[in-house]
Structure 1
């Protein structure tokens, strides 16, 4: 255990929040008093399997029968700087026989990382986290700042708030590499340091909930939803990813395009080929496709290119070479997103996948550029037929994911964009 109960109590911690992310991309929680933490680690916390089929609005097609055990990973236990008296740990759900629940997304990512290691490969990942800040606690979005996009004015307007965000993250051991105002009204972005994939996903959850807590403390409200207002650009959640063998980054130092090694090329190729299917887990909501439109730096085309912010895969050659997956957004479950990307990349290495020529212009200007799916139904259809993904995810998780997606499609697709956005704005 990273920190025993007496130590936590001495630091003023009364309870530990244990989180898991459901298939709709919503972070759910069970919490235990500090004195019960050891029992939670050993025996878990009761958790209904119906959460596998929760939709963003808390409706569910899951039944009332059955129970899982949510066990905190106390190696990641963190005292929360913006929530006095609380600590946090990510959880994994187990069945009654002590096996990892087949529908648990963090358990899936742990397994995928292990299977990648069997190929002699490892990965490093990081997220760029965009969010919008609203005044007050009402359901309408009222930007908490009014300065221009990327303008210093926005830092000045909310300097105390952003200071507290950075201070809380630093106290919690999160290394922030960059923070700045973004394009949309009331929008900011934080980039964090790359980590192993499981830690990267854990940190995304922790960063989001820290931002949410600091926002509440300042009388503000934060949303990471892919679309916040109808005429805004929306919140992306870009993934930076690199693949390694024996301490060497396979995305640099090679003879391929932009210095890619043969395995690095195949890894990227495996992802690029499977992007339509990957959207079902990386852009997994109906409002995702109100954001994923051309000429908005959202990566709406199935192309790659060097520092091309309109390409779905932006290749970054400077410093530590990596790819940025730009078409993913804030409604994604980070564990599913990374598990899908690693599965696709691994399959590419096995297949010896190649890459098409990179695109160095806005792909919207090219008559033969292939657009990514323009709606969730098309992405789900691609996901259901993508063998590498459905084999790795397994039938139980695939069924839960597709059921949640289809329920959301039925719930929202007939509504106008303004209503879709209003109904989903505060779920993420």
Structure 2
């Protein structure tokens, strides 16, 4: 069950309807509502309220500290120019447009939250509102952006409490990549997952075994960028709940083990104007319209800096290895799964499917930062009327002259700090908070071996 609502429920707006929503939750035997936001290290944080207090939470918000903008993935805290220290308070305001009964967690509902200060002004570091601003900026430029995430995870039978850093995870299935054996091994679990998604109104396009050992992937239907980021949160927590219910453990980290193929969370993007997909039937590269080509050229230009957003963990760079379908090279290609930016023309009889896929991102990323920053990069490309270079065919690792993307978080951070496009879009407070978290996490793991790094982040997300 998904409950509808308006997108701005503050200062008494539609308060009577909010009370009706609260009464409906009580009738559904919902006891609590989890209000989530995602911090700059990619961790989903939560405040929960009794269902009977949802109306008050919508009206007045729920308190939380701004210091979470400089939390690291191990729950240590850094600081930045604008954020840090124990002082201050913010208010979490749940968005009832996304209020969802959690089918795998009886008695619970969920809603993502926007963050405001005590006077009701938007918090400058609120990543969800940043994604909304970029979505509106695209509309002002004359097109709508549709996005969709593919989420990968590895299913194991034991947690790190029973397996050391040098131990291979106990994968829940030994079936081959993309193999029917894997689906049969886990058919009850996967059927339960599909039922749960359906009950929550999540439109699943595909669910299948993936390339890495014990790995699965789910793709959901494209939506506007803020909804897409919301769905990334809901999908991961739904997978977690169903997996644990089956006595298994999901691993969303960039790698489950050092040297293994990792988990990505690829982002698909298409541009639309008055019902037309601008990614096809044009006279630009690979049949794109000039607007779509310029947008993706802007994304490609900013990819080294975007790595600090979409591959934000030190362990992300254990995943980004050549010839692993991870998108380790700074190039684009038509249906090229080794290119960081893969363009998908789609079948000729389905105009909706043409899109660009960023393959070098993973689920350690804050999805609101990812969607917002990709739009910002694309809009800069449209503004500058950029063109794409020649596409790369084949494995770029075997071609002279194709550059690697950053191979470490420290290198990605340097590109990020040099990006005027991302600084302008994010604003100084959010930009500096992101940079501070990346710098601190790079230092945290600077002397850590690949095996220990993989183990340290395996269950962080």
The 5 Å alignment of 1:108-119 reads 108-119=130-141
1:413 aligned residue: 446
Name which of 33, 54, 62 aligns with 2:71.
54
2:29 aligned residue: 12
Residue 180 of structure 1 aligns to a residue whose secondary structure is strand
Q: Deviations over 1:200-224 (max 9, x none)?
A: 1111100100000011111111111
Give the count of matched residue pairs: 428
Distance in 2, matches of 1:118 and 1:309, equals 32
Name which of 398, 411, 431 aligns with 1:398.
431
Residue 265 of structure 2 aligns to a residue whose secondary structure is coil
1:282 aligned residue: 310
Residue 128 of structure 1 aligns to a residue whose secondary structure is strand
Q: Deviations over 1:274-328 (max 9, x none)?
A: 1000000000110000001110000011111110000000100013210010000
Distance in 1, matches of 2:55 and 2:213, equals 45
1:32 aligned residue: 49
Distance in 2, matches of 1:316 and 1:342, equals 18
1:150 aligned residue: 178
Distance in 2, matches of 1:335 and 1:278, equals 13
Distance in 1, matches of 2:144 and 2:409, equals 31
CA contact (8 A) 1:70 1:91 kept: yes
**Structure 1 unmatched ranges of 5 or more:** none
1:89 aligned residue: 111
1:341 aligned residue: 374
Distance in 1, matches of 2:177 and 2:354, equals 28
2:15 aligned residue: none
Distance in 2, matches of 1:177 and 1:115, equals 28
Tell me the CA shift for residue 245 of structure 1: 2.1
2:194 aligned residue: 166
Distance in 2, matches of 1:136 and 1:81, equals 24
Q: Deviations over 1:323-358 (max 9, x none)?
A: 010000110110000101000000100000111001
Residue 444 of structure 2 aligns to a residue whose secondary structure is helix
Name which of 100, 122, 127 aligns with 1:100.
122
CA contact (8 A) 1:120 1:246 kept: no
Tell me the CA shift for residue 178 of structure 1: 0.6
Distance in 2, matches of 1:12 and 1:186, equals 36
Are residues 1:235 and 2:274 paired? no
**Structure 2 unmatched ranges of 5 or more:** 6-19, 79-83, 164-168
Distance in 1, matches of 2:430 and 2:413, equals 13
Name which of 11, 17, 23 aligns with 2:40.
23
Are residues 1:373 and 2:402 paired? no
Distance in 2, matches of 1:83 and 1:343, equals 36
Tell me the CA shift for residue 136 of structure 1: 3.4
Residue 274 of structure 1 aligns to a residue whose secondary structure is helix
Q: Deviations over 1:345-396 (max 9, x none)?
A: 0010000011100111111111110110111111111111111110110111
Structure-2-length-normalised TM-score:
0.91
Residue 420 of structure 1 aligns to a residue whose secondary structure is helix
Distance in 2, matches of 1:395 and 1:194, equals 30
Distance in 2, matches of 1:353 and 1:407, equals 34
Are residues 1:260 and 2:288 paired? yes
Distance in 2, matches of 1:370 and 1:137, equals 37
Name which of 357, 361, 370 aligns with 2:390.
357
Distance in 2, matches of 1:288 and 1:231, equals 12
Are residues 1:199 and 2:227 paired? yes
Tell me the CA shift for residue 138 of structure 1: 4.2
Runs of 4 or more, structure 1, over 4 Å off, are: none
Are residues 1:64 and 2:92 paired? no
Distance in 2, matches of 1:192 and 1:131, equals 15
1:127 aligned residue: 149
Distance in 1, matches of 2:445 and 2:371, equals 26
